[in-house]
Amino acid sequence: MPEVVTIGETMILFSPTCTGSLQYVNYFQKQVGGAESNFAIGIVRLGHTAGWISKVGDDPFGKYLVSFIRGEGVDTSRVRVDNEAPTAVYFKEFHEMRNPKVYYYRAGSAASRMRPEDLDEDYMSKAKILHITGITPALSTSAKETVYKSIEIARKHNLTISFDPNIRKKLWSEEECRNTILDIAGKVDIIMPGIEEARFLLGEGSPEDYCRKFLGMGIKTVAMKMGKDGCVVAEKDIIQRVHGRVIDNIVDPVGAGDGFDAGFITGILNGWDIIECAKLANDVGAFVVTVNGDVEGLPTMEEVMEFRGERNVVDR
C-alpha cells in the first residue's frame, strides 16, 4: 500500500515541436500531464511509494496514460475505466513573448465523472499522506464531492493532507474558485500555493503576510512558490525564504510546481525540517523546467545529489 495517495485527472498532452502560435505548428508530440500524477511520479522517483486514483476513458489514450504512470512505478490499481466518456487531451503553446498557454479538451471527460463512491476507503486509510489540488473540484460537481469525501476519509484515518491550490481560471468562475479553494484550505495540513495564487486568494500582501494568513486558518505548514526567487516556507515559529539555483535556460515551466510539491512532501516523509524540505522542493522544480514535458525532468534523489555536488569533468 502506497505512502502517498492522490486524486486527479491526467490528460494526454500534445506538445508542439516548435515555439510560436499553434496555428503554425505542424507536428505535436504525445506526452502525459496531470498535476496529481506528475506529483505521484515525482514522489516515486525520489524514493517513496504513491498511488494515483482517477478515471480514464476506454480508448487508446486512456490505455497509454495508465501504462505510462504504472510504468513509472505509481500504483494505478484504483484507476477506473469509464466506458461513456473520453480521456481528456490538451495542447501546450510556447511563446517567447508570453507565458505558455494551454488549450484543454477536458469538458465531460472520464475523470470529470469521478464520484465519491469511486474512493476505496480501505486503500486510502493505509497511506500517510493524501495530496489534493484545486483542479479536481473544478472539474464537476461529482469530482468536487469526491475531493471532499477524500478529505473526510483522510481526517478519519489521520492522514496528513497536503494541498496545492493549482488555480485554473479556465475551469470555473473566479468567485467559485476562490470560495472553494479557501474552504478546502481550511481543512488541510500543508498548503503549497504559488505567490500569485496567494494574491488571488488573499488579496495584496507580502509573502510573509500570506504565510501568516494561511497559518491563521489552521494550516500547519505553508510552502509558497516564488518562481526564480525560490520559496517561502512557514510553520508555527518560523517564516523563511529559501533560494534555489537560478536556471537560465527554461525549456518548459509547466510541471515545476508539481515537482516542487513532490520534493517538499518527500522531505516531510523523510522527517526533514521544512528548510530542508524547501531546498529539495526548489531543486526538483529546477530539474523539471530544464526538460520538455511535465514529468520527463523529474529527478531521482541520486540526480539531485549529483547536481548539488561537484561536477566531475573527466568522466566520459
Quickly count: other Cβ atoms within 10 Å of residue 36's Cβ: 26
Nearest distance from C-beta of residue 174 to a second copy, angstroms: 10
**Is 162 within 8 Å of 190 (Cβ atoms)?**
yes
- The residue annotated as part of the active site, out of 258, 261, 283, 294, is 258
One symbol per residue from 175 to 194: x for binding a second copy (CB under 8 A), - otherwise; what is it? Answer: -------------------x
Nearest distance from C-beta of residue 104 to a second copy, angstroms: 8
Residue 301 to residues 202, 222, 267, 280, 287: CA-CA distances in angstroms?
Answer: 35, 23, 11, 9, 11
Binds a second copy by CB under 8 A, chosen from 116, 247, 270, 276: 247
Helix (H, G, I), strand (E, B) or coil at 305: helix
Stretch that binds a second copy, among 162-170, 184-192, 231-239, 260-268 (CB under 8 A): 162-170
Between 267 and 285, name the residue whose CB sits nearer to a second copy: 285
Q: Mention every residue, 6+ apart, whose C-beta is less than 8 A from residue 167.
A: 134, 177, 181, 197, 200, 201
One symbol per residue from 6 to 25: x for binding a second copy (CB under 8 A), - otherwise; what is it? Answer: --------x--xxxxxxxxx
Residue 200 interacts with a second copy (CB under 8 A): yes or no: yes
Cα gap 225→192, rounded to integer Å: 7
Nearest distance from C-beta of residue 126 to a second copy, angstroms: 19
Residue 251 interacts with a second copy (CB under 8 A): yes or no: yes
Q: Which of 170, 162, 193 is nearest to 267 (CA)?
A: 162
Cell 517513496 belongs to which residue? 48
- Please report, as residue ranges, which positions from 74 to 93 form the binding site for a second copy (by CB under 8 A): 86, 89, 93
- Please report, as residue ranges, which positions from 119 to 148 form the binding site for a second copy (by CB under 8 A): none
Stretch that binds a second copy, among 152-160, 179-187, 195-203, 206-214 (CB under 8 A): 195-203
Stretch that binds a second copy, among 183-191, 213-221, 236-244, 304-312 (CB under 8 A): 304-312
Nearest distance from C-beta of residue 314 to a second copy, angstroms: 4
Cell 496529481 belongs to which residue? 36
Cα gap 172→139, rounded to integer Å: 8
- Please report, as residue ranges, which positions from 101 to 120 form the binding site for a second copy (by CB under 8 A): 101-105, 107-108
Residue 229 interacts with a second copy (CB under 8 A): yes or no: no
| Residue 82 among the catalytic residues | no
Q: Mention every residue, 6+ apart, whose C-beta is less than 8 A from residue 32.
A: 10, 11, 12, 13, 64, 65, 68, 69, 294, 295
Q: Which residues are catalytic?
A: 258
